[in-house]
Amino acid sequence: MKYRFLVLLLVVFNHGYFAQDKEQTSCMSAKCHASMADVKYLHGPFAVKECNACHVPIKDQKHKFEEIKKPSDLCMNCHEPLQMKKVVHGPLKTGSCTACHSPHGSNQQFMLKKSQLSEMCMSCHKKEMFDRKNVHPPVMDGDCTVCHEPHSSDNEKLLVKAGNSLCYTCHTDFESGFANSKFIHKPASEKCTNCHDVHSSDFESMTLKETKELCYKCHAQIKQTVADAASKHSAVDEGKKCANCHSPHFSDVPKLLKKEPLDLCVSCHNDQLTTRNASLTNFSLLLQNNKDWHGPIQEKDCSGCHGVHGGKTDFRLLNKSYPNEFYTSYAKQKYELCFGCHQPTLAQDSITATLTNFRDGDKNLHFLHVNKRVKGRTCRACHETHASKREKHIREAVPFGKWQLPVNFEKNKDGGKCTPGCHAPKEYKRTLPHLD
Amino acid sequence: MNPTKFIIFISVLFLSRMQLTGQESAGNAHDFSLKDIHGKVVSLDQMLGKKLTVLVFWSTWEKDSGKFLSKFESDFRKYSDKGLSVIGVCSEEQNITDSKLQEIRDFVSVNKLSFYNLIDNNLQVFRLYDVEALPTTFLIDRYKKILFVLRGAPLVGTDRLFRTISAAFEPEEKKPEIRQITSESPEALRYSNFAELEFKRGKIDAAQKYAVQAIKLDSTFTQPLLLLARLSLEEKNYTELENNFRKLKKCPGDSNQVILLRYEYLIVQKKYNEAIEKLNSFISKNKNDSFSHALLGYAFGMEKNTGLSEQEFSIAAKLDSTDYRIPKLKAEVYNFNGKSKEANELLRRSRQLRKIAP
């Protein structure tokens, strides 16, 4: 400190005492270096024309100076030595302060050599890193020091703060989201850079890869499901792809879904949709107008039957087999979907007192309708798979070619009756065997 | 309060909580007796848990049964000594043959299920509980009241079911609602982030412009509203500040920053004692919040309690050395106490942190 004070005194004293003389004889007044002073920010010794504070003349040799081997040693004569942290910027480590700072002056604050901070940094760092389609706004703005310390830091890559805490200084809502949500995407909470390129990226949201490929990097099983799917869900391939349904950071719904499953599905299926193979129902309207819902819909989970990433069967993204006809010969494997939750014996045991309420005495009427070698009625002959206006989601009518075949089911305390288009009106009673 | 009244009070509390979290309340559980997989007859009364009972109907043919039952096994191990009972009712089919019984025993053994597993031969209990699909789960309290019914293993319902069970044994504070990321919000978020960035740089007009843009896109977005409130406070436009506070009340999400801004406003109004009291209470729950310590340091400083003021500022600086507001507040305290030289140094530091050229 004492030494620096003496140097400073000498500079000030020397300048004051010999100022007039220097105007005429200093390096700046001479024809050679006058233009160097024509900048906005001048280095102190240069401003007071004390060139000798840094350039030491070689004795008896005119205009010859001692070589400056390590600029930083010279800088530290006046400037407080920087407190070096764990990670030191390359130029500073080698003592090359002049790699970034102009020693005489420049038009930039801190006497930086380039007008744009980013230009300054990119004179050493590869430009390609910052030059992709989507650029992080601080990078776009050329303000590298929003995230990086220019001299030294305790964090890797000279970061101002460690890990995600740096990102949270601007992306504050993500910090609170990660702290307060029920479900967290672990790679995201651990390190934003697991998925994002912090400088620039060719992909939306500055991800490291295209959304689907990025997700598949870890979720290989889903990749396989999508690849193997016999029927494709367009939401997987269109728009924001995985992010159409999943929040990649955090959520209050399991599987990081953006909404509860049914609400999420209906947010797209809220209109008559036409796909390559089918015309899809407006579920918003259907569910609104038909209040008796199938169990999985009551539990707001379409994935009970449908493969949301792609169906294992080629019919309506269904995960298991379900006949796409009005009539079919009975085989258990044709109804795998229904028998995933409902008793398979429902269609196999001809006699029952407990399996179902649709029985005449102990005669199982499900068995009677479904379990036939020829023209067995499929579930859809009587039940709506999603919702209907009647209990047990029984249909009002079923499409039968061009005809809307009526079902006319009426329930009573001990059974019910049907007056369908299929057969003559029939009644059933559970308590007494009914013979007709 | 005598012990009996206390027990009734606790039970009512517990029940009301369960009913709130349960998806459906469906009357009382029916009594039944069934044989377990080893042939021993047991009744519901014998199996009923002291606090909560899970009654789950399952089968080996149901695709998710193994996974689903394993979750109950895990809870059973955790909470059985605290009063949880789990009863599995295997509603496999109408007539359970010996070979089927062995299949069920094997299933129980493979899935390492140690709770009660009963054989519902003839599907009597299945019918009694009006089950239609498997698995179906009932949560029953100690008075046999059905608190929750879940059909199948749906995504959200299953999560809710297991959270309800653990909440009964490990009550936790309700977490605040979090704003959902909607399709509109990324654009609002972008403007909000621009606003924050410009504010950090001291470009107030630009910050204000971006914040207003963000709010136009999402009127209940806390962050830009908070920024506008902060700007009103700095500009001493208290009418606008109050207006912003009113809008912030409608916003969802973490409100700590809003709370602190309100305390800052108390300090501006020179209500130091009230601010100290509230900040102390806030800090007791948020020990690592640097700015709350700085505000407390400021309030103490203005009340001429130099020791406590220094202590709080020191904690604040240790917790966050990059927040420009901390040295700025400390500088004001120093100025108030006539330490202008130290105050100037702190203001210089604050400006550096905020990236405003000196």
Contacts of A258 in chain B (CB under 8 A): 180-182
Comparing C-alpha atoms, which of B49, B62, B52, B43 is closest to residue B15? B52
Mean local confidence (pLDDT), A207-218: 93
- Of B217, B234, B288, which Cα lies nearest the Cα of B256? B288
CB contact under 8 A, B133 and A109: no
Q: Which residue of A has its CA nearest to B92?
A: A343
Buried residues in B3-15 as b, exposed as e (16+ CB within 10 A): eeeeeeeeeeebe
Assess whether A170 and A67 both reside in one domain: no
Which residues, in sequence order, are CB contacts of B103 under 8 Å at separation 6+?
A: B60
Strand segments, DSSP code E, in A253-408 are 273-274, 279-280, 292-293, 327-328, 359-360, 363-364, 376-377, 387-388, 397-400, 403-406
Whether B175 and chain A come into contact, CB under 8 Å, resolves to yes
Yes or no: say if B117 and B34 are a contact pair by the CB < 8 Å rule. Answer: no
Asked if B189 and A258 come within 8 Å (Cβ–Cβ), the reply is no
pLDDT exceeds 50 at position A316: yes
| CATH 1.25.40.10, chain B: domain bounds | 185-253, 270-358
What integer pLDDT is reported at residue B15 of this predicted model?
39
Phi, psi of A397 (to 5 degrees): -155, 160
Give the pLDDT confidence of A75-89 residue by residue, as tens digits.
Answer: 877 887 677 788 999
Candidates B94, B159, B192; nearest CB to A254: B159
Using the Cβ of B110 and the Cβ atoms of chain A, whether some distance falls under 8 Å is answered with: no
Q: Percentage of chain A with pLDDT > 70?
A: 91
Q: Does residue A290 carry a pLDDT above 60?
A: yes
Structure tokens at B261: 């801004």
Mean pLDDT of A14-38: 60
**Residue A187's closest CA among A162, A156, A155, A219?**
A219
Q: How many Å apart are CA B179 and CA A172, to the nearest integer?
A: 13
- Are A201 and A95 found together in one domain? no
Ranked by mean pLDDT, which of A92-96, A252-256, B244-248 comes out on top?
A: A252-256
- B94 vs A172: CB contact, 8 Å cut-off? no
- Find, in chain B, the residue whose alpha carbon is nearest to that of A161: B322
Which residue is it, tokens 């904690």? B315
DSSP state of A309: T
For residue A127, being part of any structural domain is answered with: no
Q: Which of B123, B132, B175 sits opposite A180 (nearest CB)?
A: B175
Nearest CA in chain A to B255: A176
Best mutation target among A135, A299, A351 (most B Cβ atoms within 10 Å) is A299
- The pLDDT value recorded for residue B184 is 42
Asked if residue A93 and residue A175 are part of one domain, the reply reads no
Domain membership of residue A136 (yes or no) is no
Task: Say if CB B260 and CB B185 are below 8 A apart.
Answer: no
Label residue A292 exposed, middle or buried (CB < 10 Å: 0-12, 13-18, 19+): middle
- Can you give the pLDDT at residue B171? 65
Residue A67 sits in the same domain as residue A184: no
Residues in B touching A179 (Cβ below 8 Å): 254
- Residue to substitute from B34, B132, B148, B354, interface A, most A β-carbons within 10 A: B132
Which neighbouring-strand residues pair with B40?
Answer: none
ω before B135 within 30° of 0 (cis)? yes
A354, A357, A385, best to mutate vs chain B, most B CBs in 10 Å: A354
Alpha-carbon distances, residue B65 vs B23, B130, B170 (angstroms): 21, 19, 26
pLDDT of residue A4: 55
Tell me, what DSSP letter sits at residue A342?
S
Under CATH, what is the fold of the domain B270-358?
1.25.40
Comparing A4-13, A97-106, A114-123, B213-222, the range with the smallest average pLDDT is A4-13
Q: Domain total for chain A?
A: 3
Which of A81-95, A246-260, A274-288 has maximum average pLDDT? A246-260
Indicate if A180 and A279 belong to the same structural domain: yes
Q: Is residue A149 part of a domain?
A: no
Least confident of A47-51, A214-218, A387-391, B83-87: A47-51
Q: How far is A10 from chain B (nearest CA, A)?
A: 26
Q: Are residues A166 and A226 in the same domain?
A: yes
- The 3 state secondary structure assigned to A104-126 is CEECCHHHECCCCHHHHHHCCCC
Q: Do B196 and A170 touch (CB under 8 A)?
A: yes
Per-residue pLDDT, averaged over A185-207, amounts to 93
The architecture CATH gives domain B3-169: 3-Layer(aba) Sandwich (3.40)
A198, A411, A430 from A415: Cα distances, Å: 67, 6, 6
Which token pair is A42? 């001048």
The rounded distance, in Å, linking the Cα atoms of A106 and A221 is 58
**Domain end among A295, A315, A336:** A295
Say what the pLDDT of residue A115 is.
78
| Whole-angstrom distance, CA of residue A243 vs CA of residue A141 | 28
d(CA B195, CA B184): 18
Render B24-89 in DSSP notation, one character per residue. ----BPPP-EEEETTS-EEEHHHH--SSEEEEEEE-SSSTTHHHHHHHHHHHHHHHGGGTEEEEEE
Is B194 near chain A, with CB under 8 Å? Answer: yes
| Rounded Cα gap, residues A317 and A304, in angstroms | 11
Task: Name the percent of chain B in helix, strand, coil, to the closest 5.
Answer: 60, 10, 30
Q: Would you say the ipTM is above 0.85? A: no
* pLDDT at residue A415, as a whole number: 92
B4 reaches A (C-beta below 8 A): no
Radius of gyration of chain A (CA): 39
Whether residues A194 and A97 share a domain: the answer is: no
Minimum distance, in Å, between the CA of residue B175 and any CA atom of chain A: 6
**Average pLDDT value for chain A:** 86
CA distances to A436, B68, B166, B169, B273 from B79, in Å = 56, 17, 8, 7, 46
CA distance A362 to A354: 9
Specify the pairing of strand B84-90 against strand B52-58.
parallel
Q: Please report which confidence band the pLDDT of residue A23 belongs to, taking 50, 70 and 90 as the band edges.
A: very low
| Between B27 and A222, the higher pLDDT residue | A222
Q: How far is A182 from chain B (nearest CA, A)?
A: 8
Asked if B296 and B276 touch (Cβ cutoff 8 Å), the reply is yes
Question: Is the CB of residue B328 less than 8 Å from the CB of residue B347?
Answer: yes
Q: Which residues of B touch A172 (CB under 8 A)?
A: 196, 223, 257
| Residue contact B152–A161, C-beta within 8 A | no
Domain shared by A8 and A97, yes or no: yes
Residue A125 within any structural domain of the chain? no
A295 contacts in chain B (CB < 8 Å): 132-133, 151-152
CB A331 within 8 A of CB A322: no
For the CA atoms of A222, A225, A231, A232, the dihedral, rounded to the nearest 10 degrees, stands at 30
CATH 1.20.58.340 for domain B185-253: no
The residue among A279, A295, A311 that closes a domain is A295
Q: Are A176 and B253 a contacting pair at CB < 8 A?
A: yes
Residues A288 and A334 reside in one and the same domain = no
Mean pLDDT of A387-398: 90
Distance from the A296 Cα atom to the nearest Cα atom in chain B, whole angstroms: 7
Cβ atoms within 10 Å of A144's Cβ, excluding its own? 21
Q: What is the pLDDT along chain B (358 residues), one digit of tens a residue?
A: 455 454 444 444 443 333 323 344 457 899 999 999 999 999 999 999 999 999 999 999 987 789 999 999 999 999 999 999 999 999 999 989 999 999 999 999 999 999 999 999 989 999 999 998 999 999 999 999 988 889 899 888 898 899 889 888 886 544 433 343 343 455 676 677 778 767 766 778 888 888 998 888 888 888 889 899 989 998 889 999 999 988 888 876 556 788 888 899 999 889 999 999 999 998 987 777 888 999 999 999 998 898 999 999 999 988 887 788 899 899 999 998 888 888 998 988 887 776 543 3
Q: Give, as one character, the DSSP assignment of residue A81.
A: P
Give the domain extent around A338. 327-429
Quick one: pLDDT at residue B254?
A: 52
The whole-angstrom separation of Cα B150 and Cα B58 is: 12
A149-164 b/e with 16+ CB inside 10 Å = b? bbbbbebeebbebeeb
- Alpha-carbon distance of A91 to B230, in angstroms, equals 40
Q: Helices B306-319 and B290-302 meet at what angle, rounded to 10?
A: 160
Residue of B94, B134, B192, B356 best to disrupt the A interface, most CBs of A under 10 A: B94
**Which pLDDT score is estimated for A16?**
43
What are all long-range contacts of B133-136, with beta carbons under 8 Å and residues at least 24 apart? B133/A295, B133/A341, B133/A342, B134/A341, B134/A342, B134/A343, B134/B57, B134/B58, B134/B59, B134/B62, B134/B65, B134/B91, B135/B56, B135/B57, B135/B58, B135/B62, B135/B64, B135/B65, B135/B68, B135/B69, B136/B56, B136/B57
Collect all residues of chain A within an 8 Å Cβ-Cβ radius of residue B132: 295, 342
> Could you say which residues from 220 to 259 on chain B have a Cβ atom under 8 Å away from some Cβ of chain A?
222-223, 253-254, 257
Asked if residues A292 and B147 have their Cβ atoms less than 8 Å apart, the reply is no
Letter string b/e over residues B66-85, b meaning 16 or more CB atoms within 10 A of that residue's CB: eebbeebbebbeebeeeebb
Specify the range with the lowest mean pLDDT, choosing from A112-126, A189-203, B21-35, B56-70.
B21-35
All CATH 3.40.30.10 domain ranges of chain B, comma separated, are 3-169
Closest CA to A319 of A336, A334, A332, A298: A336
Which residues face A403 on adjacent strands? A400
Interface test with A, best of B181, B189, B194, B351 (most A CBs within 10 A): B181
- Percentages (nearest 5) of helix, strand, coil residues in chain A: 40, 15, 45
Asked whether residue A309 is domain-assigned, the answer is no
Phi and psi at B85, nearest 5°, equal -120, 140
Q: Is residue A274 domain-shared with residue A344, that is, in the same domain? A: no
Interface with B, mutate which of A117, A148, A160, A172 (most B CBs under 10 A): A172
Q: Which positions in chain A touch B155 (Cβ < 8 Å)?
A: 253-255, 257, 261, 301, 303
Mean of pLDDT values over A43-58: 83
Distance between CA A402 and CA B288 in Å, rounded? 71
The angle that helices B256-268 and B272-285 make with each other, rounded to 10 degrees, is: 160
Q: Which of A25, A150, A165, A8 is nearest to A89 (CA)?
A: A150
Total CB pairs under 8 A between chain A and B: 121
Answer whether B61 sits within 8 Å of A339, measured CB to CB: yes
For residue B331, the distance in angstroms to the closest alpha carbon of chain A comes to 23
Bigger pLDDT: A233 or A9? Answer: A233
Last residue of a domain, one of A115, A130, A146: A115
Instruction: Note whether A189 and A267 are same-domain residues.
Output: yes
Which residue, among A341, A392, A394, would best test binding to B if mutated, counting the most B CBs under 10 Å from its CB?
A341
| Chain A partners within 8 Å of B192 (Cβ) | 173
| Nearest CB neighbour to A252, from listed B150, B178, B322 | B178
A378 min Cα distance to partner chain B (Å): 18
Contact A301 B156 (CB under 8 A): yes
A172 and A278 assigned to the same domain: yes
Considering only CB atoms, which chain B residues are within 8 Å of A109?
A: 357
How far apart are the CA of B266 and the nearest CA of chain A, in angstroms? 24
Question: What is the reported pLDDT for B102?
Answer: 95
Cβ contact (<8 Å) for A342 and B133? yes
